[in-house]
């Protein structure tokens, strides 16, 4: 298998790190390579905020629900969707402001996520461990204030990077046949697909080396999305200048 395909299959989120720092040149190079990701209409609608300040890390770890790896990671980055440059270009070209168009919000969020995934994979290819931190959206307003994020910029998720202290087992993904449909969406097989995957994940949770539990994919997933999640998001995004129309 070529090394890129191998790295893709070898991904696991790493939440435990050694004290070894990440060389500034390596971090810079990883970001440069991550920017090779495709970008909708070439807008490159993202920015990264590198957070090193201990108090800021502490605040963000608390916002994320006490995720201590936010404090212990050698590097902690906030991945932002950023339409500020795009809007400025529009205004400078005398074409008016973006007006919070939802399509632009999707493009910026996708751009940011593609770049971030490239960054994670590149970091992993250098032996680093990484985990995304969506928990920052528990209080995006607080995070945005802390980082002084302007209008047209919002924090999508965080990214912890560090040299791994422990390597957890791989989590088995849905089989390709479940997510791949031929020509049109096959609605009939959803129930049986879920049942088969629940069995596989139940086995994985029971047999894995640490943090064993009796559960399955349906139970975990349903619990994770129960209650309306982060109901503040729409209002927050609108305040930052997104999804107004
Ligand atoms: C957008 C996004 C946000 C995530 N947020 C968190 C988070 O806040 N905390 C965390 O520990 N893991 C977080 N994760 C990691 C997932 O829990 C993890 O990718 C998933 O359980 C699969 O496990 P694996 O990455 O080890 O294969 C996030 C992943 C993504 C893609």
Residue 226's pLDDT is what?
A: 84
The CATH code that applies to domain 3-168 is 3.40.109.10
Question: Which atom of ligand 1 lies at the shortest distance from residue 12's CA?
Answer: 26
What's residue 5's pLDDT? 96
What pLDDT score does 44 carry?
98
Separation of CA 133 and ligand 1 centre (Å): 7
Which of 157, 162, 170, when mutated, tests ligand 1's pocket best, judged by the most ligand atoms within 8 Å of its CB? 157
Question: Would you state the pLDDT for residue 83?
Answer: 98
Q: What is the domain partition of the chain in residue ranges?
A: 3-168, 170-227
Residue 230 Cα to chain centre, angstroms: 16
Task: In whole angstroms, give the CA distance from residue 40 to residue 163.
Answer: 32
Measured from the Cα of 171, ligand 1's closest atom is 27
User: Residue 228: its pLDDT value, please?
Assistant: 79
The DSSP letter of residue 78 is: E
Residue numbers of the chain with a pLDDT score lower than 50: none
Task: Name the β-bridge partners of 160.
Answer: 76, 131
Say what the pLDDT of residue 119 is.
98
Ligand 1 centre to CA of 138 (Å) is 15
Whose C-alpha lies nearest to ligand 1, atom 3? 134
For ligand 1, mutation pick of 79, 134, 138, 211 (most atoms within 8 Å of CB): 134
pLDDT of residue 175: 97
């Amino acid at each position: 298998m070529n090394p890129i395909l191998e790295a893709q299959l070898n991904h696991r989120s790493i939440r435990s790190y050694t004290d070894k720092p990440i060389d500034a040149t390596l971090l810079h190079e990883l970001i440069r390579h991550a920017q090779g990701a495709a970008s909708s209409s070439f807008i490159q609608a993202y920015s990264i905020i590198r957070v090193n300040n201990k108090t800021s890390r502490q605040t963000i770890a608390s916002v994320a629900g006490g995720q201590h790896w936010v404090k212990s990671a050698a590097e902690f980055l906030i991945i932002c969707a950023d339409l500020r440059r795009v809007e400025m270009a529009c205004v400078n070209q005398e074409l008016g402001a973006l007006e919070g168009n939802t399509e632009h919000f999707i493009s910026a969020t996708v751009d940011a996520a593609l770049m971030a995934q490239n960054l994670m994979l590149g970091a992993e290819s250098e032996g680093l461990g990484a985990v995304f931190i969506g928990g920052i959206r528990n209080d995006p307003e607080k995070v945005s204030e802390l980082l002084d994020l302007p209008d047209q910029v919002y924090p999508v998720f965080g990214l912890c990077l560090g040299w791994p202290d422990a390597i957890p087992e791989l989590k088995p993904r849905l089989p390709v046949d479940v997510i791949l449909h031929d020509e049109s969406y096959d609605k009939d097989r959803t129930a049986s697909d879920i049942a088969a995957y629940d069995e596989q994940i139940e086995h994985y949770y029971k047999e894995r080396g640490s943090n064993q539990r009796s559960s399955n994919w349906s139970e975990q997933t349903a619990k994770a999305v129960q209650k309306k999640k982060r109901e503040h998001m729409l209002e927050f995004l609108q305040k930052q200048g997104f999804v107004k129309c």
